[in-house]
Amino acid sequence: MKQILVDNVVTLKKQIQDKTMDFRTRNTRSAFTNNENITHSHALRSRSKASQTLQQRDSRNVLGDIGNKLQSRKIEGSKKAISKGSKARSQVKNIPPAALRSEINNNIGDEQMEVESENAFELKPSIENVPDIDSFDMDYPEYCSEYVKDIYEYLHKLQDEHLVPADYMNNQADISPRMRTILIDWLIEVHMKFKLLQETLYLTVSLIDRYLAKNNVNRRKLQLVGVSAMFIAAKFEEIYAPEVNDFVYITDDAYTREEILDMERTVLNSIQFRVATAYPLHFLRRASKVADADPRTHTLAKYLVELTLPNFQFIRYKPAMIAAACLSLAKMMLLAGSWNSTIAAYTKYTEAELTDCINEIFEMTRNAKDSQFKAIYNKYGHSRFHKVSFLAEQQIANAMYKK
């Protein structure tokens, strides 16, 4: 009996020891697991912080870096240190082109400016020693400064491809240059009635001439050719072009809808669907930028260019030459400076080469008020066009003196 009791005590002690060991083992494993989790958590937090830091360092405003947004920099009162070169580049945006060029010329001998602003004001002339007028527009994507020269080289080639013979009216049996003048003068009024873009008018006249140069047209169909050409031009240039029924109405039902659509197909087939061409307006805008023309001078030049549209005698001149001659005459009228080497280089015409064209435009302008066809004269007498048709009458004496 005593021996049995001793054995039970020994067994109980052994069970207590085993339980104690299990408890210690579980506590040890739990502590190790907790420590491991804590260590892993610290590691994750460290990696997260490192990742966030890296992301913050690498993050950027994509559109801003590419240059799709115009960013203005505050130079005065800035707490950050800005280099002198970047400060010069910021100032370029706030100075008008004319004032900027003047500032460059006045300080061209300043060594400090050459060192500090070499990148900001570096001019890369494309034509001999003529300044690069597009270098100041590099921050403005809408000016296409990187390839604007290629665009105008293409336009010069395009105008050569689409030139029509100056005597093509000799091949027309039933129409005359005067009929063409009457048609275009009427189309100018239609153009104003529909409130179409300027480009639509120039393209309309181009399509008419290119079609008439290849096809004999009966005088009864001449107006049909005109409205069909404007219909094509409007669909090519306008966002919301007039419908074909609008042209049926504007002709007082002289032609049906089917006749206009049929003539549209005929004109497009005749020009082989090569609708795009170079307008005098394209070259005038470029020349006005080179000449740093003010709005009044540019509008006066536009008036002179449009005066040439109904006049058949200007068929023999290229659009680029007409634009250059009109701008030169406008500058003479308003005493807005001379035709310098920079303008000649970019327009590709010297003043001597423009003399004949300028003289013809001068005579046409002097007689514009008394002309039988006054759609353009009346149009540019409006205040929205600075009343330049009236201004031309007053300032014609300046050009006469120069002439």
Cβ(363)–Cβ(338) below 8 Å? no
pLDDT of 97: 42
Closest CA to 280 of 387, 163, 385: 163
For residue 241, pLDDT over 90 is answered with: yes
With pLDDT > 70 as the criterion, what percentage of the chain qualifies? 67
Q: How far apart are CA 168 and CA 151, in angstroms?
A: 29
| DSSP per-residue codes, 324-373 | HHHHHHHHHHTT-----HHHHHHHT--TTTTHHHHHHHHHHHHTSTT-S-
Query: What is the mean pLDDT of the segment spanning 333-340?
Result: 90
Averaged confidence pLDDT in the chain: 77
pLDDT of 20: 52
pLDDT of 14: 58
Categorize the per-residue pLDDT at 293 as very low, low, confident or very high, splitting at 50, 70 and 90: very high
Report the b/e string of 123-158 with b at 16+ CB within 10 A: eeeeeeebbebbebbeeeeeeebeeebeebeebeee
Q: How far apart are CA 259 and CA 54, in angstroms?
A: 69
Task: Please report the beta strands in 54-207, taking only residues with DSSP state E, as ranges in sequence order.
Answer: none
Query: What is the mean pLDDT of the segment spanning 238-258?
Result: 96
For residue 277, pLDDT over 80 is answered with: yes
pTM: 0.68
DSSP 243: P
| DSSP per-residue codes, 273-302 | T------HHHHHHHHHHHHT--HHHHHHHH
Max mean pLDDT among 73-82, 122-131, 183-192 falls in 183-192
For residue 102, pLDDT over 80 is answered with: no
pLDDT of 393: 87
Q: How far apart are the first and last CA of the chain?
A: 149
354-403 confidence digits (pLDDT tens): 999 999 999 999 999 999 999 999 999 999 999 999 999 888 877 764 55
Place of tokens 């005066």: 307
SS (H, E, C) 197-222: CHHHHHHHHHHHHHHHCCCCCCHHHH
For residue 73, pLDDT over 70 is answered with: no
Q: Sketch out the chain's domains with CATH numbers.
A: 171-270 (1.10.472.10), 280-402 (1.10.472.10)
Q: How far apart are CA 45 and CA 37, in angstroms?
A: 12
pLDDT of 12: 56
Categorize the per-residue pLDDT at 127 as very low, low, confident or very high, splitting at 50, 70 and 90: low
For residue 124, pLDDT over 90 is answered with: no
